[in-house]
Structure formats: C-alpha cells, structure tokens
C-alpha cells in the first residue's frame, strides 16, 4: 500500500511538471506579487471576517463574502503599494 502511494505521488509530480508548467501573463504577475500578497492576505482575512460575521448569520454567505472581500482588498493593496517607490521598498516589491 505504501508503494502504491509513493508511485501515485511520483505520477502526480510528473503530471504537474508536464502539463501545469505554463508561463503566461497571469503566472508572471502572480510570481512577482506572491510575497506581498502573502504579507497582506492575513490582515484582510481577519478584517473582512470581523465585519462579515456581524452583518450576516448565514455561514455560506459569510464564507463567500470573506473570500471575495479579502481577495479584492489584498490585490488592491498590492496594486496601490506597487505604484509608489516608498511602499515598494517597504514591502520588497520589485519594479
């Protein structure tokens, strides 16, 4: 059973290497922004969850609102910080 699991892991790695290794504008953007997005995302998740939990009691609505609001705020923060030299320096954003 362990051997089968190991072979499946190797097969998935091989599949990913062959079929999922793409280089386009989206993947380049995400590669450049990954560290800064990592820095911002937890703050925006907590902030959006705090206010979303006060607004609605429906768990499904809460989940989607937290996801959408935090993702939008995270990438908006990244784009704003990317525009100014001082914030690029503070958040280690390459030009």
Question: Over the stretch 56-91, which tens digit does the pLDDT of each residue have?
Answer: 999 999 999 999 999 999 999 999 999 999 988 888
Residue environment code for 58-86, b if the CB has 16+ CB neighbours within 10 A, otherwise e:
eeeebeebbeebbeebbbebbeebbeeee
In this prediction the pTM is 0.75
CA–CA dist 1, 60 (Å, integer) = 38
Question: Over the stretch 24-62, which tens digit does the pLDDT of each residue have?
Answer: 999 898 888 999 999 999 999 999 999 999 999 999 999
């Amino acid at each position: 059973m362990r051997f089968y699991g190991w072979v499946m892991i190797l097969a998935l790695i091989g599949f990913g290497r062959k079929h999922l290794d793409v280089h386009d504008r989206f993947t380049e953007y995400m590669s450049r922004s990954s560290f800064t997005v990592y820095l911002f995302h937890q703050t925006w998740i907590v902030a959006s969850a705090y206010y979303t939990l006060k607004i609605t009691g429906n768990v499904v609505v809460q989940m989607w609102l937290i996801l959408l609001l935090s993702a939008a705020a995270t990438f908006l923060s990244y784009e704003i910080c990317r525009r100014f030299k001082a914030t690029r320096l503070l958040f280690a954003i390459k030009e």
